[in-house]
Amino acid sequence: MATSEEQELMAKIGSLASKINRHKAQQHNTNFGYHGPGRNRYRNKTLVLNGQSGSAQSVDANAASNSTSSSWVSKTDRHLQLINSAIYEKEAQSRSNAIEQTHRHRQLRKDNREKSKLANFARQNANHAAASSSASASAPKFEITIDGIHFHVLKGGNKLVKFPGDVNPPSATPKVAFIGGVKFHRTRNGNLVRHGIVRAQQQLLSKGTCPEGDSCDLSHEVTEERTPLCLHFAKGKCINPSCPYVHAQHSQSDPIKGCKRPHIERASVLRRAGNRSSPEEMDDISSDDDFAADSDDIDSDGVEEFIGKDEVEDARFSEQTDFISF
């Protein structure tokens, strides 16, 4: 009898244990079967017991980070690096100097190639002008024909001036001409000036800096006499507070009050008018816009100071890209 009772009791215990296990299994599947979007977990959790101590710790951490950031500079070259600021400045200086020196070496090699090309072109295509009765054998002139227009080569190859008495209008001269690989721009009277002169003047006036820096052969002295008038100011429409061009007002008592265009007497024009010794040199007073072929043509008076005199050839121009000695 005792054996049957024990068996019945063991059966009840087993059934109860199975029910408990099934109940636990159902709860486990319900809780962990679906994981919804949870909150982001953060590392380095800290317990702040007092607000003042926490703020003090944050101030100390900010000061430490500022001191660290001031003494170290992150650099991304091929890899992310941390470099001391003093060492980084020295390396940056040496790197910029090396880049500038490499650029100068490349420019020098390019200059040599350009000079050889231009010399060959001048020997093959340029002809000597007919010698006049006056003694001018010390500075021989060359003639170049472009689109049927004859030009004298002046200023050591920096300027091409049309023959005196040429009947072609200024618009007949090409706006941009490439002569032996050298780029020339048209002036307002139909003459041509070299691109190197125009580029130096435009960059110096518009940007205030020259890409060549101290090694540039041209003058960087920006004076009021060398700076052209602001056309927008003359029309009353200049809104640039730091305009690099001259803002000049003309009084009503000026003898040019009947003309609506701005006038200025340039020193280069006055010198040429006083020093003109032969009738072969033609005027290029390009400040007179009435005869200009286009409004954006080059003002030859503005580049006259950069070209220099025809008789004295500056040796520094020979180092430029598109220079050729005639």
Ranges of each domain in the chain: 105-128+139-228+282-319, 230-263
**Averaged pLDDT, 233-248:** 81
Residues 6+ apart with CB under 8 A from 173: 146, 147, 149, 162, 186, 190, 191, 192, 293
**Averaged pLDDT, 162-169:** 84
Does the pLDDT at position 294 exceed 80?
Answer: no
Could you give the CA distance from residue 177 to residue 194 in angstroms, rounded to a whole number? Answer: 10
Q: Comparing 13 with 67, which gets the higher pLDDT? A: 13
Strands (E), 210-285: none
Tell me the CA distances in angstroms from 288 to 156, 183, 192, 299, 304, one per residue in order.
25, 24, 16, 9, 15
Residue 201: how many CB atoms within 10 A of its CB? 23
Q: For residue 244, which amino acid is it?
A: P
DSSP-assigned states of every residue in 195-209: HHHHHHHHHHHHTS-
Q: What is the pLDDT of residue 314?
A: 46
Q: What is the pLDDT of residue 32?
A: 52
Q: How confident is the model at residue 204 (pLDDT cuts 50, 70, 90)?
A: low
Q: What is the pLDDT of residue 315?
A: 46
Per-residue burial over 284-296, b if 16 or more Cβ lie within 10 Å, else e, is bebbeeeebbeee
Question: Can you give the pTM of this predicted structure?
Answer: 0.40
Could you give the CA distance from residue 228 to residue 269 in angstroms, rounded to a whole number? Answer: 14
Which residue matches tokens 């100097």? 97
Does the pLDDT at position 9 exceed 70?
Answer: yes
Q: pLDDT by residue (tens digit) across 217-238?
A: 555 566 666 677 787 888 888 8
Q: Comparing 157 with 67, which gets the higher pLDDT? A: 157
Could you give the CA distance from residue 150 to residue 317 in angstroms, rounded to a whole number? Answer: 25
Does the pLDDT at position 84 exceed 50?
Answer: yes
**Averaged pLDDT, 143-158:** 77
Q: Comparing 196 with 85, which gets the higher pLDDT? A: 85
Tell me the CA distances in angstroms from 175 to 8, 148, 171, 208, one per residue in order.
117, 15, 8, 26
Residues 6+ apart with CB under 8 A from 166: 149, 150, 190, 282
CA-wise closest residue to 197 among 293, 326, 304, 110: 304
Most confident of 70-84, 134-148, 190-204, 231-245: 231-245
**Averaged pLDDT, 62-80:** 60
Average pLDDT of the chain is 67
CA-wise closest residue to 227 among 258, 248, 256, 255: 248
**Averaged pLDDT, 205-214:** 61
Q: What is the pLDDT of residue 181?
A: 78
Structure-token pair, residue 130: 């007919």
Instruction: Output the CA angle 217-120-182, nearest 5 degrees.
Output: 45
Does the pLDDT at position 281 exceed 60?
Answer: no
Does the pLDDT at position 70 exceed 80?
Answer: no
Does the pLDDT at position 74 exceed 80?
Answer: no
